[in-house]
Amino acid sequence: MAYTPTPVPFSVADEYIGAAPYLTYLKQQGWVGVIQFFKNNSVGNCSFSENNIKLSHGSVVIAKEDVRQDVNGKTTTVEVMGDENFGFTYTVEWFDDLFFRKLECASKHYSTQTTDAVIKIAQQIDSN
C-alpha cells in the first residue's frame, strides 16, 4: 500500500469478510486505495472504500444542493437507491483534503432509521 488504510472498527463490523486493493497502483509505492467488506447485524452487508486522492491526483465535484456535513463536519453526500422487490443500497460518501471515502450497505428494507445507522457507521469509521 502507498499509505496506511483506515481500518473498519470492530465496533461496527459484526463479521469482517475481507479486503482488497482498490483503484490505482503506483509503481514502487503501492495501491492508493482499499475496499473492505463486512457485515453489520443492524444494517446488512457493507463495503467501505477509500481513495487517497493526494496520491492518485484525484478530485471531486459535488452539486452544492447535495452537500451535507453528516460525517464529522466533512463534506458528505447521502443516497438511498432501490425498491421493495430487490432491496436498497444506502450510500454515504465523505471527503477531505486527502481522501474520498464511501460506505455502501445493502438492506432488503427501506427505513430512515437504516439511513441514520449507516451515517453513524461512517462517523465511527472516520473517527477510527
pLDDT of the residue at 114: 98
pLDDT of the residue at 106: 98
pLDDT of the residue at 85: 96
Contact present, 21 and 2 (Cβ < 8 Å)? no
Residue 124 has pLDDT above 90, yes or no: yes
Nine cell digits for residue 13:
463490523
Closest CA to 28 of 63, 55, 58: 55
pLDDT of the residue at 128: 80
Backbone angles phi, psi at 5, to 5 degrees: -65, 155
For 98-117, write each residue's pLDDT tens digit. 999 999 999 999 999 999 99
Residue 91 has pLDDT above 90, yes or no: yes
- Distances 57 to 21, 26, 126 between C-alpha atoms, Å: 17, 11, 21
For the structural domain made of 15-127, what CATH number should be given?
2.60.120
Torsional class of 110: left (φ above 0), alpha (ψ -120 to 50), beta (otherwise)? beta
Which residue has better confidence, 81 or 2?
81
Backbone angles phi, psi at 112, to 5 degrees: -70, -25
pLDDT of the residue at 116: 98
Torsional class of 87: left (φ above 0), alpha (ψ -120 to 50), beta (otherwise)? left
- Measured CA to CA, the distance from residue 19 to residue 37 in angstroms comes to 6
Length reported for the chain: 128
pLDDT of the residue at 99: 93
- Domain ranges in the chain? 15-127
- Paired strand residues for 94: 76, 101
For 29-88, write each residue's pLDDT tens digit. 899 899 999 999 999 999 999 999 888 888 888 888 888 999 999 999 999 999 999 999
pLDDT bucket at 1, cuts 50 / 70 / 90: confident
